[in-house]
Structure 1
Amino acid sequence: MKKQIYLSSAFAILFGLSVQAQEKDKPKDSNMNTEEVRVVKSYEATVIDAFKIKDTPQIGDEDNEKQVIKYSIYSFPVASTFAPEKGKAAKVDKDSLSSFFNNYALLGYGNFNTLQGQLGIAEKVSDDVYVAGFLNHISSQGGIAGVLVDDNYSKSNLDFNVGSRKTTNDWNLNFGVSQQNYNWYGLPTDVAIFAPAEYDGRDFGQKYNDVHFGFNYNSNKGAFDGGSLKFKHFWDAFDSRENHFLINPKFNFVLEQSIVNLDVKADYVNTQFEDELISGINTKSNSLIVGIEPNIRFIADDYSVQLGFGLANVSGESNGEKQDSFVVYPKVKANYDLVKDIVIAYAGAEGGVYNNTYANFVGENPFVSPDLRLLATKQNFNFYIGMKGKLYHNISYNIRASYMTEDNKAMFVNNPKVPSFDLLNSQVYQYGNSFGVTYDTVDTFNAYGELNLNFSDDVTIDLSGEYNSYSAKNGSVFNLPETKLTAKLKVDFTDQWFGGLDMYFVGQRNDMGYVNDGTGDLERKLVKVDSFADLNLNVGYKATDKWTIFAKGNNLFNQSYQSWSNYKVQGTQVLVGAMYKFNFKN
């Protein structure tokens, strides 16, 4: 499969649909132009979060009352096999003209036989109720130089939504299915020699499927704030199965000078891996987290403070190892206006506990082996302090430093290769071409900064960077880069022409791998995965109110870098296509 990172740009914002009329204000945080469709609720896609710009929580006057939230479709027009950031989806159309549409269809084609198609539908059933649907497909036939086995991939989603918005409450029910096809094509050919008989005729493919549904409810009055319920059934081509259930009701109580909030969470996951060819046994994991997070908030004209904590009980079993612990963590944060509406100082101490799931690991790295050890991760605390504000009316910034400690932090590590004489009796993910998960207690120091420049509504520049220093209790950290840099430029040349540029840099990472010991034998040891830079460019033309033509080039440096150990990426990718917008009703 090309790489797990590449799909995120096509799915950065998968789905948002609405029955409301669109506004003419353009989103200022996208890197292309968009036809914006306002929605009541949106489907949240799972995508790679390699280095998402951090949005520091701010407690302000807006916390006193429930706000009307508008969601938008940002249809991404290009099937990119590189997208290291879970960022804003690229715009595909301008919204500066007066004609707006609820529905759209999009089709694009590029080299490497890359195909992308999307269809988004939103219809109003009554004044308060809407229905919506979204179909998305992206695929590539591969063609990376030097790869011994198939490296094609595909990913398809189909989602349905029905919802209602009233003055006192709103709700949304969604249901969907998805399928992903990948190949474990990352054989360590730089150090190991594979005879054709060892891989010819073998199917190195993996297929992931899921069925999911969710329900969200928000109340605008009373103590019950709302909540969410989610369920996902996930399975693969190797008979792995996982059920994940999450319920999260919320309550708040308004006092004279403060607001008391109570969040309740029940998170249950049950996973079973079948590895009969190797061991003849099943690998089973289950974990239940039950927790509450009470807090009280004090809000004034120039400051706001939240004081709270979390209590959670973790119970379950992973491969016969019992999990049973009680966790206490802080939920404290505050901000202060140093200069009203210009400079804000903020700080906090937060923590939490969450389940690691097979589905989530696949979302980050689709080349994992179907025999993972699953444990809950505990974030004991995350202390942070920062400042954000404006240097000028059109220049904003955010700087932050943080220190975090996590128990059972999950990290991907390359799996060892079985001996050559046993390859044909092994699974296809045992060629040194898959990843397992290792856990450790990890301390992380993070320094982060971003700068946003808006020269006009038509030109924006976003710069961000971060540095991480890791310390693991039992050894090295794996696949966690120290440095990440991002630069984005968006330009609307005219009412019809628009474009954008993205550049990314990811620093070196540690992993386990093989080196030649000088005698011809392979020695397994800690290795470095090289840093890389990537440049992406897009351009679009709004031919009419209904038709938009676009093109995008990815990996314009044409580097054959590794997204993961041994997984080289496609070279320069170019995709062109068109989007058509329409309404069923006049």
Structure 2
Amino acid sequence: MKKGFILFLVYFSFLSLNAQKKEQAIDTVKTEVVNVVTKYNPKISDAKKINKNPKIELLKNNEKKKLEYTIFSAPVASTFIPKSGVVKGIDVGVKERVYKNYLAAGFGNYTTPYLEAYLNHSTSFENEFGFNAKYLASLDNVSNTALNSNFSNFNIGAFYKQQERYFDWKVSLNSERNLYNWYGLPDLNYTAPTISSINEEQVYNYFDLIGEFNFQDSYIHSGKIKIANFTDSYKSSEILAKFEAKLNLPLDFLRSNLNDISIATSIEFLKGEFKNDYSNSNAVKYGTTTISINPQYKIELEGFSIKPGLKLIASFDSENSANNFFILPDIFVEGPIIEGYLNVYGGFTGDLHTNTYKNFTEENPYVSPTLFITQTLEKSNLFLGFKGLIIDDLSFNVKASFKSEEDKPLFLRNNSKSDGTNTTYNSMDLNGYEYGNSFDVYYDDVKTNTFFAELEYEYSKNLSFGLQGIYNNYTLENAIEAWNLPSLEGNISAKYKTNKWFAGANIFFVSERKDALYANQYPTSFSGTETVDSFTDVNLNGGYHFNDKFSAFLKLNNVLNTKYQRFANFDTQGFQVLGGLTYKFDF
């Protein structure tokens, strides 16, 4: 009986296993991972309702990176032995409050008023606007000058900036009015009637409108539009329009570890006119259109940053019917030799520079409104430099460069149309710049070898020193001398600052320069060269903070009262003092 019952159980178990195997063979339910959110009791019949799991594809920028943790565990013997004593505090100084707005006013000898203001306000985190203005003048004349030598500079500007969801933009308006005098008469015996007939005043007026754009997550990185107008008292006019854009083209579709290609592009339109040339015969017109494309790719290799690129430039001269196309190198390499102490950098570049009347007046405000203006081709510029630390607080930077330029502009003094007694030329009254007291622009092909050295020493957080020196050696194609170019320039500076006091010093040195001498009044040839002496100019400045908002400042220029000339026959002011107050505030 027992044996029969046992055999019955074994047989029943065997039939059950076979039945399950058959059911599994026809069942379509597969093993799935189900995240239970609410209570759910699945049935086999419900499995047919689920065809497949949804798949969500994320953008590449939103993909989550897998975090990997590595722990290196090793026993470390403790070498720290606590020592009783006084705990030394760290002097982090007093945190200076930064204000968005300030007003400054001062006055100095030579009847020198000074006014400056900067106002800035943000209505929210998304927009901002501001206003700035500055006025500086010297109403007294330089000693021993027969003509007026006063000057005044006034500029004013405003901007508005808006941040949008995918980009931000900024609009700026700027205007300038600068007054100068052609007071640098050559060494001739000018009679009193001749001097009284000279109108030596020149006024430059400038206006520009600038629009800037910066994009986020776009192939266009940034863009800039500039329209400027420049005029003077002699009906000269110049219009400059420039459009710039920087593009980033991704290469990750070729390989994931490739960087983007950066492309800087620009289109520039320049058009200007002078009423007449220096001989008073014809009007002088100039106009160029320049298109530039500058692709560049960045490579990181063994700690070195390598940026190979090139510049594709097309220039169209509408006045002279001349078209030029250039392919110029643009390569830069930088990397460490001794990590943290010595870096090397170098490059090989070229460019096409657009000269403008506005730029010439900024460098030399005594040019005549009769200039011939053309572009300067920087055919090649090869440079190599080293920078780093000598000790922890002493840094250096040295660089040698070899540059070759076509049509490099040089300032050359105009020949006088008066012998000191006449006030007319070819039965025409002389203009105020035609008495040998203005400068022309002379173009020549120039090769320049330059050595630059710079040292900076931070003695403490309150006191630092700086030293700079530049040596230039010029090789010219046609010119007798490198007109008005110094071969050596140097600068020594020092800065001191505490919570209440601040001070600074600058010592400038410029070596001698060369200018032309003429055999007779215009028109005539060169009779030789004149040496413009080298000079050293010592300037000091300092002040005191009464509190966070009010400060007093004092500036001392040409402390040694040196009688020097920046350009031939243009003497500078002697010892100058300017003092005033500054008020900082927020709205």
> TM-score band (shorter)?
0.7 to 0.9
Are the equivalent residues in 1 in contact too, given 2:199–2:431 (CA < 8 A)?
Answer: no
Is 1:481 paired with 2:486?
A: yes
State the alpha-carbon separation in 2 of the partners of residues 363 and 544 from structure 1. Answer: 37
Change (3 A) 1:516 1:231: closer
What residue number does 1:242 align with? Answer: 238
Q: Deviations over 1:98-139 (max 9, x none)?
A: 433211110010000011101110001222100000011010
Which residue in 1 is equivalent to 2:142?
Answer: 144
Q: Indicate whether 1:490 and 2:511 are aligned.
A: no
Quick one: which amino acid aligns to residue 468 of structure 1?
A: N
User: Aligned match of 1:507 in 500, 506, 511?
Assistant: 511
CA distance in 1 between counterparts of 2:277 and 2:381 reads 41
The equivalent residue for 2:226 is 230
Higher strand proportion (structure 1 or 2) = 1
Q: Which runs of 4+ in 1 moved over 4 A?
A: 95-98, 165-168, 514-517
In 1, Cα distance between equivalents of 2:94 and 2:357: 43
Equivalent pair of 2:277/2:371 in contact (CA under 8 Å): no
1:336 aligns with: 335
* Residue equivalent to 2:292: 291
- 1:130-156 Cα offsets, whole Å, 9 max, x none, are 000001101001321110010111011
Give a deviation string over 1:335-388, Cα, whole Å, max 9, x none: 121112221111100110021100111111110000100001110110001110
**Distance apart, 1:516 and its partner CA:** 10
Distance in 2 (alpha carbons) for counterparts of 1:286 and 1:125: 43
Q: Which amino acid aligns with 1:222?
A: S
Whether 1:541 and 2:544 are equivalent positions in the alignment is yes
Tell me what 2:564 maps to.
Answer: 561
Query: What SS does structure 1 have at the residue aligned with 2:308?
Result: strand
C-alpha distance in 2 between matches for 1:377 and 1:434: 22
Asked if structure 2 preserves the Cα contact closer than 8 Å seen for 1:461 and 1:490, the reply is yes
What corresponds to 2:156 in structure 1?
A: 158
Relative distance call for 1:522 and 1:573 in structure 2 (3 A) is farther
Shift of 1:546: 1.0
Q: Secondary structure at the match of 2:272?
A: strand
CA–CA distance in structure 2, aligned partners of residues 322 and 221 of structure 1 = 42
Contact 1:501 1:535 in 2 (8 A): yes
Q: Within 2, Cα distance between the matches of 1:469 and 1:379?
A: 17
Q: Match of 1:199, SS? A: helix
Deviation at 1:259, TM superposition (A): 3.1
- Paired amino acid for 1:211: F
Partner of 1:273: 274
Amino acid at match of 2:263: L
CA distance in structure 1 between the aligned counterparts of 2:535 and 2:572, rounded to whole angstroms: 11
| Structure 1 equivalent of residue 584 of structure 2 | 581
**2:392 corresponds to:** 393
* Corresponding residue SS for 2:359: helix
- How many angstroms does 1:523 deviate by? 6.6
- Letter of the 1:513 partner, please give it: L
Which residue in 2 is equivalent to 1:64?
A: none
The 2-side partners of 1:357 and 1:511 are apart by 22
505 and 96 in structure 1: CA distance in 2 versus 1, 3 angstrom threshold: farther
Cα distance, 1:223 vs. partner?
1.5
Q: Where does residue 63 of structure 1 map in the other structure?
A: none
Instruction: Provide the secondary structure at the position in 2 that maps to 1:500.
Output: strand
Partner of 2:360: 361
In 2, distance between residues paired with 1:98 and 1:150? 45
Give the AA of the match of 1:531.
S
Q: Is the 8 A contact 1:267 1:355 kept in 2?
A: no
- Equivalent residue runs for 1:463-474 within 5 Å: 463-474=467-478
Number of corresponding residues = 482
Q: Is the 8 A contact 1:97 1:545 kept in 2?
A: no
State which structure, 1 or 2, has the greater radius of gyration over its C-alpha atoms.
Answer: 2
Aligned ranges 1:100-179 → 2 under 5 Å: 100-165=98-163, 169-179=167-177
Q: Does 1:441 align with 2:449?
A: no
Partners of 1:343 and 1:300 in 2: CA distance: 17
Alignment-derived partner of residue 86 in structure 1: none
Aligned pair in 2 of structure 1 residues 98, 347: CA closer, same or farther (>3 Å)?
closer
Cα 1:526–1:458 change in 2 (3 A) is same
Counterpart in 1 of 2:190? 194
Q: Which residue of 1 aligns with 2:40?
A: none
CA separation in 1, counterparts of 2:444 and 2:278?
Answer: 29
Aligned-residue offset at 1:515: 7.8
Q: Secondary structure at the match of 1:348?
A: strand
**What's the counterpart of residue 209 of structure 2?**
213
Structure with more contact order per residue of length (Cα contacts < 8 Å, sep ≥ 6): 1
For residues 283-305 of structure 1, give each alpha carbon's deviation from its aligned partner in whole angstroms, at most 9, with x where no partner exists. Answer: 11111111111121102461011
Structure 1 window deviating more from structure 2 (271-280 vs 224-233): it is 271-280
CA distance in 1, matches of 2:508, 2:280: 42
Residue identity matched to 1:374 = I
Gaps of 5+ in 2: 1-92, 252-256
Relative distance call for 1:232 and 1:522 in structure 2 (3 A) is closer
Deviations 1:401-455 (A, max 9, x none): 0100011111111111113254342111011110110111100000011001111
CA distance in 2, matches of 1:528, 1:302: 49
Equivalence map 1:300-319=2 (5 Å): 300=301, 302-317=303-318
Paired residue secondary structure (1:430):
coil
CA distance in 2, matches of 1:468, 1:96: 44
Q: Deviations over 1:13-51 (max 9, x none)?
A: xxxxxxxxxxxxxxxxxxxxxxxxxxxxxxxxxxxxxxx
C-alpha distance in 2, partners of 1:279/1:516?
19
- How far residue 233 of structure 1 moved from its aligned partner, in angstroms, is 0.4
Aligned residue runs from structure 1 range 396-411, under 5 A: 396-411=395-410
Distance 2:541 2:233 in 1: 36
Question: Offset at 1:467?
Answer: 0.6
Q: Write the distance in 2 (CA, Å) between the matches of 1:98 and 1:405.
A: 47
Match runs of 1:48-63 below 5 Å = none
1:458 aligns with 2:456: no
1:76-105 deviation line (CA, Å, top 9, x unaligned): xxxxxxxxxxxxxxxxxxx95543321111
The aligned counterpart of 1:384 is 383
2:370 alignment partner in structure 1: 371
CA 163–583 in structure 1, closer or farther in 2 if over 3 Å, else same: same
2:413 and 2:163 map into 1 onto residues whose CA distance is 48
Deviation at 1:560, TM superposition (A): 1.3
8 Å CA contact 1:268, 1:287 repeated in 2: yes
Task: Give the TM-score normalised by the residue count of structure 1.
Answer: 0.79
Asked if 1 retains the 8 angstrom alpha-carbon contact of 2:171 and 2:211, the reply is: yes
